[in-house]
Structure 1
Amino acid sequence: MPPTILTAVILAVVGSGGFGTLVAWLLRRVDEHGHDSPLTAGVRVLLLCKLEQMQAEMVANHGIADNALKARAQKVYDAYHALGGNGHGTQINRDIQDAPIAPRY
């Protein structure tokens, strides 16, 4: 089944630098709807997917994460955790934060 336009838009935003803006907007909406809403659950899942994507990026880079990746992962994790996420996302963030940083030459 081909992806819908909404799916394509979501994937484009998640893969872009606009992800932080999307998360901020979604978090404001979540605050309006409470922590147990489907919107909250959906945002939590998207944040977990982003953490998984960042971990895959790190693994593809031979297990090395630069400071920028670590900072972005921490921001995503903080939002994820604020929405009640834990467990798997916590371990992913820990793996990213514990990864070695490539030496500069």
Structure 2
Amino acid sequence: MQLLDQIVAWLVPAMCGGAVTLAAVAWRYGRAVIHGLRVLLRAEIIRIHREYVQSGRPIPVEVMDEADDAYDAYSALGGNGTGTKMHDEIMAAHNGPTRKEHS
């Protein structure tokens, strides 16, 4: 019984320490992934804004839907007001023909 007590006294703290370390690594990794996704989504919103709103070109409906989807995900991941401003300008821009009609 004494041997079992010594094993438990050694094993429990080691397992708890490992679990805490694993949780910390997972937390940092998850934050990095979320940040990376937010950066990519913001870049897509900026690209659409530059390509259509700033240039004055009409936006195909499909592109507007893509911008809306990108913004929804960006906002859910904690995106800031800059993305919101660009999204609002994209949504207010002139709709053009669909991609199929344009080709």
C-alpha distance after superposition, 1:10-46 (max 9, x if no partner): xxxxxxxxxxxxxxxxxxxxxx858x71111111011
Gaps of 5+ in 1: 1-31
CA distance in structure 1 between the partners assigned to 2:87 and 2:54 by the alignment: 16
Partner of 1:99: 93
Greater C-alpha Rg: 2
Identity percentage of aligned residues: 32
Higher mean C-alpha deviation, range 36-45 or range 85-94: 36-45
Amino acid of the structure 2 residue aligned with 1:86:
N
- CA shift, 1:66, in A, is 1.9
Please tell me whether residue 49 in structure 1 is matched to residue 43 in structure 2.
yes
Q: TM-score, normalised by structure 2?
A: 0.59
Please tell me whether residue 84 in structure 1 is matched to residue 78 in structure 2.
yes
Partner of 1:70: 64
Partner of 2:23: none
Gaps of 5+ in 2: 1-25
Which one has a larger percent helix, Structure 1 or Structure 2? 2
Q: Which has the higher contact order (CA 8 A, sep 6+)?
A: 2
- CA shift, 1:102, in A, is 3.1
Across the aligned residues of Structure 1 and Structure 2, the Cα RMSD in angstroms comes to 2.4
Amino acid of the structure 2 residue aligned with 1:74:
D
Query: Alignment partner for residue 40 of structure 1, among 34, 37, 43?
Result: 34
Partner of 2:52: 58
SS of residue in 1 equivalent to 2:69: helix
C-alpha distance after superposition, 1:23-79 (max 9, x if no partner): xxxxxxxxx858x71111111011100100111121365242121111000000011
Q: TM-score, normalised by structure 1?
A: 0.58
Aligned length: 72
